[in-house]
Structure 1
Amino acid sequence: MKKKKTEIAIIGAGISGLIAAITLEKAGYAPTIYEATDRIGGRVKTDIVEGYQLDHGFQVLLDAYPLAQKYLQYEQLELQKFLPGAQVFHKGKSSVIGDPLRNLSLLIPTVTSNIGTFGDKLNVLKLNTVLKKKSLEAIFEEPETSTLDFLKSFGLSEEIITKFFKPFFSGIFLEPHLDTSSRMFQFVYKMFGAGLAVLPKAGIAAIPNQLQDKLKDTKFVFNSPVESCMNQKITFSNGKTAFFDYKIIATNASPLVPNLRKQQLNWHTSDTLYFTTIVRKIDKPLIGLISDKDALINNIFYHTALETNQNGTEELLSVTVVGEHDLTEYQLIQKVKDDLEKFCGITTVRYLKHYRINKALPKLSDIRYSLMPTETRLTESIFLAGDYLLNGSLNAAMISGEMAAKGVLEAIEKT
C-alpha cells in the first residue's frame, strides 16, 4: 500500500539505486529511477557475445558480504564457486597456492609450491587467524597504511608479496602497486576467509536483475542522463525537467550538484579482454596470476571452468590489465596475446571483446564500513548513495543505498 503523495526520485539504476528503491518500497513508497543507459546494473553488467557470457570486467561476488546475504537469494542465483586459491605463472612456469584448510585438494600443491618461504606460510596462517577474530568495526577503526606496507609489517617476504599478494589483490583493487588502504585489504581478505568467491550461473548481471525483480511499484525511466540536480528540480541532458520532493543520487554526484563540482572523484581504470582458446591452461576454477614484472597482464580466468547459462563451442578466457598504458585497442590486443603466449603458454583462437572501464573503482582514502542515514543527506531534499561514500565494494554500495533511503524516510517522518 502506497503512502501519501511524497514523490521520490533515484538517479542511477546501479546496485545502490536498486537497494534504495527496495528499502523505500518496503516503507510503502513508489520511487522513480532515472538511468542514463538502457539497462540496470551500473558497473555490474553482462553481455552475450557470440554465445558467450561476458561480464563488464572480471567480477566476482564474495558470498560472505553481510549485505549480499541480506538482500540476495543465493540459491536462485545458482552460484558457481571458485576454489580458494590461484595458479601463479612466473618465468614460464606455474604452481598452485591456496587454502588447504578449506579445500583439501590444495594441500599438496600449496605445500610443494615454490611460492614463498616456510616462514611465509606460517605468517599467512597467522594472518588468517588474526583477521578471523577481528571484527569489521575494528578493521575500519585502525590507522590506515597502504596494503603493501601492511603486508611487509606482517613479516611477509618480498617473494610471496610479488608472486601472490601483488597480482591477486591488484586484480581486486585495480591498481598495480597495492597503494589501496590496509583497511580495505583486511576487509576483503576477511571476506575471502569467511566464504568463497562466486559467480551467478547467468553472469554477474544476475545480481541487479534479482534486485529489480523484488521491485513492484518502482518506475524505471531509461536513457535519461541527468544534467543537474538542485532543490526539488531535476534537469535532464535533453533539457526536460522533473520535480520531486526528495532525490537520491545513486551515482557520482559531483557533476550533478553545483556545490560539489569542485569535489571531483578520481577513479581506477582497468581493461578486460575476452578470447577463446582450444584448451584450458588452468583446469580447475582458479584465478591465474601473472607475477612477472615485465607482463602487462595481471590476471586471467577461464570462465568455462564454471557452469554458465550461455556456452560457446570453445574455452572462454578473460584477461585483466590494471596497469596504466597508452596503447591503442589494436596494440593492446596484440600485447595481451603476446603476454599470454610468453608468460602463460596460452595461444588464443579468437578475440571476442574489449571492455575499457574508465570508472571501475573509486580512489578513496580514510575508508569506512558504514554510515548513518543522516550522513547521506546533502541538502534538505537531496541524499547521496554509492560505494564511493564508504569503500569500493558491492557490500558498500548496498549499505549506502539502504542508508540513503532510510535518510529520506527519516526526513519524511520529521516533516
Structure 2
Amino acid sequence: MEKEDYKIHIIGAGISGLIAATVLENKGYSPIIIESSDSAGGRLKTDVIDGYQLDHGFQVLLTAYPTAQHYLDFKKLSLQKFLPGACIFKNKKAKIIGDPLRNLSLLLPTLFANIGNFSDKIKILKLNAKLKKKSISDIFKDKETSSLTYLQDIGFSDQIIQDFFKPFFSGIFLEPNLETSSRMLEFVYKMFSQGFATLPKDGIKGIIDQLISKLKKTTFLYNSPVQEVKDGVIYLKNKDEIKSDFTIIATEASGLISNLKNQEIDWKGCDTLYFEVDNRIIDKPLIGLISDPKALINNIFYHTSLQTTLIPKKELISVTIVKEHQLNQEELKQKVIDDLHQYCGITGCKFIKHYPIVKALPKLQNLQYENSHTETKLTTTIFLAGDQLLNASLNGAMISGERAALGIINTLEDGLIV
C-alpha cells in the first residue's frame, strides 16, 4: 500500500493534533483530522469582538520552548514580547520588579519595589543560576513536591511567596495554592529566564493559523463529534462509521475507549474577562499581579500594551480568576469590577466578554517532559496524544502529538502492519 493510501485519522484539531498531522505529512502520509467543533485550535483560539482580539483565556508563547522553536516560525508570527518582569499591586500601590540583566529599564523600579527582602533577592539569583545549568531532563527526573513546598524549602520569605510567586505561578498553573508539581515550576521558571513570554500579533490563534497553513495533504472534518473508537473503525455521534487504519486520539480518550471509562482526567478551570478602559495604569507590557489573598482576581494584562493586527479604539484589559467561586456571570462581572477598583485603582470598565474555561489545564502528577513513540500506543492501531500525557504546556502538547505520529510511522516502517 502506498503511504497516501493509508487512512490515518486524528481526533482533535488542537495543537497536539496539528503537530501529529505535520509529522505525518512530512513523512508522506495524508492524515484526516476529525474535530467536534467548527474550527481548529482547541484551547488556542482568538475572537474579534468590538474591534479587539480576545484570546480564549490569557495565554502566552514562551520562546524558549524547544519544540515550539522546531515547529513554529517565530518571525512570521510577529511575536510581541512582554518585558521580563511584573507589576505587583500591593496596598493599592503598583510596584514593578523584573530582571534588570535582561532589560535595564527594570533596574531602578526593582531596587525600590520593596518586594521581598535582601535574602530573597540572593536566593532568586541562586535559583536563576541553578536552573540555567540544570537540563530539562534532569528537572523531570527530580523528586516531585508541591511548588509551594519547593519555594519554602529554598527559604523564600512568606512575603515574596505571597506577593510574587503565588500570583505569578497561580496564573500559569491555574490554581491558587501552588499545589502543582515542583517539576513544572522549575521548567516554567527556566523557560521564562531563557526566553521571552510573547503573543503573536494576530493573537494566540496565530499559532494555529500558521500550522494549518503548512498542511497541504491533510483533510479536516469539522462538526464531527466522535462517540467511540475501536481498532479499525471510528463511530461518530451522528451514527456514521469511518474506517481507519490508524487513529490518534489527540484529546481526552477516556470517553472514547471502552476500557478507559474509569480513567477520566481531572481538569483545572479558570475565568477570563475582558474590559475596555480609557487609560492604562501599567504603561509597559508587563503582567499585573494582585497579591492580596482576599482578592478574587489573580492577574491582569493590558493587551493594548502589545501591538496587535487590529488597531484598538481604547485600551483592552483581561482579568484572570483561578479561585473557585459560585458567582453567576453578572455577579462575577461586578465582583471583578469592584476588585479592579479596590486593589488596582482601575475604574471605568466596559465589559466585553467572559470566557469560563472549564477544561483549561489537566491536573497531573508524576510529570514527564517527553515520552517515546512506543509509549503512545494504546492498541495495535490506536495511539494517544495530548498534554495530559506529559505536562500541561504548549511544549508538552507538541511533543505528545509528534510522538504519537512517530508511533504510527515506526509501526509502518518496521513492517509490523502492512
Q: Aligned letter for 2:38?
A: D
Partner of residue 149, structure 1: 149
Q: Is the 8 A contact 1:50 1:312 kept in 2?
A: no
Query: In the alignment, which residue of structure 2 is the partner of 1:357?
Result: 357
Q: Which residue of 1 aligns with 2:84?
A: 84
Number of the residue aligned with 1:338: 338
Query: What is the aligned partner in structure 1 of residue 66 from structure 2?
Result: 66
Is the 1:20–1:404 Cα contact (8 Å) retained in structure 2? Answer: yes
- CA drift at 1:4: 5.3
* 8 Å contact kept, 2:170–2:176: yes
What's 1:276 paired with?
276
Query: Residue deviations 1:313-366, cap 9 Å, x none?
Result: 110000000000010011000000000000000013310000000000000000
The answer to whether the 8 Å contact 1:97/1:106 transfers is: yes
- Given that residues 297 and 322 in structure 2 are in contact (C-alpha distance below 8 angstroms), is that contact kept between their aligned partners in structure 1? yes
Shift of 1:311: 2.8
1:174 to 2:177 alignment = no
Look up the SS of the partner of 1:359 in the other structure: strand
Question: How far apart are the structure 1 equivalents of 2:310 and 2:33?
Answer: 30
**1:327 is aligned to 2:321:** no
Q: CA deviation at 1:233?
A: 1.1
CA drift of 1:111 comes to 1.1
- CA–CA separation in structure 2 for the residues paired with 1:363 and 1:400: 16
Partner of 1:138: 138
Note the alpha carbon deviations across 1:353-383, whole angstroms, 9 max, x for none. Answer: 0000000000000000000000000011100
Q: Is the 8 Å Cα contact of residues 275 and 348 (structure 1) preserved in structure 2?
A: no
CA distance in 2 between partners of 1:397 and 1:244 (Å): 23
Q: Bigger CA drift: 231-240 or 61-70?
A: 231-240
Runs of 4+ in 1 over 4 A off after TM superposition: none
TM-score w.r.t. the length of structure 1 is 0.99
RMSD in angstroms over aligned alpha carbons? 1.0
- The alpha carbon displacement at 1:312 in A equals 2.9
Query: What residue ranges of structure 2 are gaps of 5+ in the alignment?
Result: none
Distance 1:311 1:298 in 2: 27
Describe how 1:27-46 pairs up with structure 2 within 5 A. 27-46=27-46
Query: Distance between the aligned counterparts of 1:267 and 1:399, measured in 2?
Result: 20
Match of residue 21 from structure 1:
21
Question: In the alignment, is the contact (CA less than 8 A) between 1:82 and 1:286 conserved in 2?
Answer: yes
SS at match of 1:97: strand
How do residues 195-210 of structure 1 correspond to structure 2 at under 5 angstroms? Answer: 195-210=195-210
Deviations 1:113-165 (A, max 9, x none): 11000110010000000000000010000000000000111111000000000
CA drift of 1:184 comes to 0.3
Amino acid corresponding to residue 285 of structure 1 in structure 2:
P
Gap runs ≥5 in structure 1: none
Letter in 1 for 2:371: L
Structure-2 separation of matches of 1:190 and 1:312: 33
AA of the residue aligned to 1:332: L
Does the Cα contact within 8 Å between 1:53 and 1:311 map onto a contact in 2? no
What CA distance in whole angstroms lies between the structure 2 residues aligned with 1:261 and 1:329? 32
2:353 and 2:369 map into 1 onto residues whose CA distance is: 35
Identity in percent: 58
- Report the AA paired with residue 39 of structure 2: R
Query: Within 1, Cα distance between the matches of 2:101 and 2:270?
Result: 33
2:184 is the alignment partner of 1:184:
yes
Task: Report the counterpart of residue 262 of structure 1 in structure 2.
Answer: 262
Cα pair distance change 1:331/1:7, threshold 3 Å: same
Residue in structure 2 matched with residue 55 of structure 1 by the alignment: 55
SS of structure 2 residue aligned to 1:88: strand
Residues in 2 aligned to 1:194 and 1:115: alpha-carbon distance in whole angstroms: 23
Q: Distance in 1 between matches of 2:52 and 2:17?
A: 28
Matched, 1:307 2:307: yes
Shift of 1:257: 0.6
Match of 1:351, SS?
strand
Alpha-carbon separation, structure 2, partners of 1:342 and 1:293:
13
